[in-house]
């Protein structure tokens, strides 16, 4: 369990964790795979979110999945993308979080994922929480915690209490 003080200090930066959907490069599941390749090469991210036509979050598409689709037995050929769509190659079953996420869930998921899609109750895509933004808050916490607080290990506190009782 994350203690209440660390919880409070980290959650002070909660509003900075999310990058709004409007600022996110994404593709639609019905887009040709060649379009996703173009977007990924332009934005230079290795993975981006995929949405459907009602703006539901449906998966992630990355360069690795697209390159896989370009392979044939002997070589890589971009012609192999012809007739293929994002939904044929995207990763599904991606963990998502709501706006009112639990800090524990956020930190656990970010261990294995560099970003987490944020969705509403109907799974509409709202944005992403990135490891980078959360690490900035952890960095701030690591620098500030002992500047503004006195941290005493519990065993030392017990010793101090015992000494106070004796005197
Ligand atoms: P960062 O922590 O900023 O490096 O972002 C981590 C990952 O989140 C990136 O590698 C991308 O896969 C994704 N990401 C971050 N910002 C964007 C964006 N504006 N559009 C699409 N994906 C993004």
Q: Which atom of ligand 1 is nearest to the CA of 114?
A: 6
pLDDT of residue 28: 98
Are 49 and 26 in contact by the 8 Å Cβ rule? The answer is yes
CATH of the domain spanning 4-166: 3.10.580.10
**Hey, where are the domains in the chain?**
4-166
* pTM tops 0.85: yes
Q: Quick one: which of 68, 71, 61, 19 has its CA closest to 41?
A: 61
Q: d(Cα 117, Cα 105) in Å, to the nearest integer? A: 13
The pLDDT profile of the chain, 167 residues, written as one tens digit per residue, is 899 989 999 999 899 999 999 999 999 999 999 999 999 999 999 999 999 999 999 999 999 999 999 998 889 988 999 999 999 999 999 999 999 999 999 999 999 999 999 999 999 999 999 999 999 999 999 998 888 888 888 888 888 888 888 76
Q: Is 150 helix (H, G, I), strand (E, B) or coil?
A: coil
Q: d(Cα 54, Cα 119) in Å, to the nearest integer? A: 13
Q: Quick one: which of 66, 70, 84 has its CA closest to 30?
A: 84
Q: Which of 91, 130, 139 has most ligand 1 atoms within 8 Å of its beta carbon, as the pocket-test mutant?
A: 130
Q: Is 63 a pocket residue for ligand 1 (Cβ < 6 Å)?
A: no
């Amino acid at each position: 369990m994350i203690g209440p003080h660390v919880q409070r200090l980290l959650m002070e930066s909660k509003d900075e964790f999310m990058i709004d959907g409007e600022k996110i490069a994404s593709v639609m599941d019905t887009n040709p795979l060649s379009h996703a390749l173009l977007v990924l090469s332009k934005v230079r991210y290795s993975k981006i979110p995929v949405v459907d036509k009602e703006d539901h979050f449906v998966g992630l598409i990355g360069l690795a999945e697209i390159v896989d689709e370009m392979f044939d037995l002997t070589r890589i050929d971009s012609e192999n993308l012809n007739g293929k769509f994002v939904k044929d190659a995207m990763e599904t079953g991606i963990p998502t979080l709501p706006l009112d996420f639990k800090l524990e869930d956020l930190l656990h998921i970010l261990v294995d994922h560099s970003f987490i899609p944020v969705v509403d109750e109907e799974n509409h895509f709202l944005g992403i929480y990135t490891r980078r933004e959360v690490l900035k808050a952890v960095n701030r916490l690591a620098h500030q915690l002992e500047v503004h607080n006195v941290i005493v290990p519990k065993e030392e506190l017990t010793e101090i209490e015992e000494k106070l009782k004796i005197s």
